[in-house]
Copies of this chain bind each other. A is one copy, B any other.
Amino acid sequence: MDELKQLADALMERAKRAGLGIVTAESCTAGLMCQVLADAEGASTFFHGGFVTYTKQHKSRALGVPETLLREKGAVCADVARAMAEGALEHSKAGIAAAITGVAGPEPDEDGNPVGRVCIAVARRGFPVRDLERNYPDVGRDTIRESAVADALKAMTEALASVSAAA
């Protein structure tokens, strides 16, 4: 958890410099990214909050992820991660969003995705959405969740870094 704290502090510092609020959309990590961000320095100003969308229905209802997409591709794919990140931006006033959808285990999901498969997306207003897929080893729910949150925090930090460099 110390690594997550450091990653969150680094991200928050970058968000402060960019003057951009952060929002999250989480499925398999179920709020862990929110927990970590809320404990970072500057959270009360730059961490707006997050959407925990555990079921497909709630991904659609709270974030506007298309039901047809969820039905056809399942909940764990790049397109759903991207739609979750875009939905989080749309339903907040934050400037950057990260989404995580995956299988923390102990069982594969209903669509047959294996334990450890996780899709992450980062959306920043005015920039193309980025996504990445990870297949973590099946070493337990908590470790998979922590790895996914670490990668999402790093992806947001990188997205802000390249923005600053371009500005």
Contact = CB atoms under 8 A, between A and B. Distances in A.
How many copies of the chain does the oligomer comprise?
2
Interface of A: 21, 23-24, 26, 30-35, 37-39, 43-45, 47-55, 57-58, 61-62, 91-94, 141
A103 B49 CA distance: 16
Contact of A32 (B35, B55, B91): B35
Contacts of A21: 55
Nearest to A94: B58
Counting chain B CB atoms within 10 Å of each CB, the highest count among A23, A49, A141 belongs to A49
12 contacts: A31-B33, A31-B38, A35-B35, A38-B54, A44-B55, A48-B57, A48-B58, A49-B54, A49-B55, A49-B58, A50-B52, A62-B92
Contacts of A58: 23, 48-49, 92-94
Q: Which 3 A-B pairs have the closest CB atoms?
A: A31-B31, A31-B34, A30-B38
A31 B54 CA distance: 12
A90 to B, nearest CB: 10
B61 A54 contact: no
A15 B84 CA distance: 27
Contacts of A31: 26, 30-35, 38, 50, 52
Counting chain B CB atoms within 10 Å of each CB, the highest count among A26, A54, A57 belongs to A54
A22 to B, nearest CB: 10
A144 to B, nearest CB: 13
Contact of A93 (B38, B49, B61): B61
Nearest to A46: B55
